[in-house]
Amino acid sequence: MDTTTPPPVTPTGAAAPPPMVSATEDKTVAILSYITLIGFIVAIVLNSNKKTKLGAFHLRQVLGLFLTGVLCIIPLLGLVVAIGLLVFWIMGLISAIKGEMKPVPLLGAMYQKWFGTTFE
């Protein structure tokens, strides 16, 4: 009587499972995305190699903050907007350090909607 079992068969054309990403690597991408433009670019490259939900979430948040800052360059509102964006940036960075997917106030949920599958 043969007691060996055949190896499991994977269907042809089945996608390979996503690479395992440690919590540290996941948080690294999230935190780097907030650290200067170079950090944002490095985070995009790291996230493109190993896709993570936390990394993609925070990349979208930073992209939204950056675009909001660029669009709101009006002399009278510039300082108020800059201070607000700085506060939101700090809140997003703290969320990334904690490993949370917490959107920034006011526009964070819309950033996720607008940039839905970006960085995934």
Is the pLDDT at 16 greater than 50, yes or no? no
Instruction: Give residue-wise pLDDT tens across range 103-112.
Output: 888 888 888 8
Is the pLDDT at 79 greater than 80, yes or no? no
Share of the chain above pLDDT 90, in %: 0
Q: How many residues belong to the chain?
A: 120
Is the pLDDT at 1 greater than 80, yes or no? no
Q: Give me the helices (H) in 72-102, please.
A: 75-98
Q: How far apart are CA 52 and CA 15, in angstroms?
A: 17
Q: How far apart are CA 91 and CA 31, in angstroms?
A: 12
The one-character DSSP state at 7 is P
Residue 54's pLDDT band (boundaries 50, 70, 90)? confident
Is the pLDDT at 98 greater than 70, yes or no? yes
Structure tokens at 70: 């660029």
Structure tokens at 62: 């930073």
Residue 14's pLDDT band (boundaries 50, 70, 90)? very low
End-to-end C-alpha distance for the chain, whole angstroms? 50
Is the pLDDT at 90 greater than 50, yes or no? yes
